Amino acid sequence: MNADELRGHMDALLLAVLEHGPLHGYAIIEALRERSGGALDVPTGTVYPALRRLERAGYLASEWAEAGGRRRRTYRLTGEGQAALAGERSAWRSFTAVIGSVLDPSR
């Protein structure tokens, strides 16, 4: 899948990946790839602006950490981010139910 296919879903994907604990940017990209079985190979030019936008919205908090002699910005979900993720999941379930009923009316 390419970045255009993910438009409108990136925020939910990033929030979901961070649900289980803080990660730095590259680890977030790797988690997306791993959790999708390799289907999501999202470029850094898509992920980092989205992380900054989510942080400005109050859904993420970040801090600098030292790892292996390198400084990395680590992101974590805030309480507002957890609530936003719950809303995204609810909206996704509703969306897929409606689309599924159109695409596969025998369901």
Average pLDDT over residues 3-8: 66
Q: Are strands 70-77 and 23-24 parallel, antiparallel or unpaired?
A: antiparallel
What pLDDT score does 105 carry?
83
Q: What is the pLDDT of residues 37-53, one digit of tens each?
A: 999 988 899 999 999 99
Average pLDDT over residues 47-67: 94
Question: With 70 as the cut, is the pLDDT of residue 22 above it?
Answer: yes
Contacts of 67 by beta carbon, 8 Å cutoff, 6+ apart: 24
CATH fold group of domain 3-102: Arc Repressor Mutant, subunit A (1.10.10)
Q: What is the pLDDT of residues 72-101, one digit of tens each?
A: 999 999 999 999 999 999 999 999 999 999
What pLDDT score does 1 carry?
62
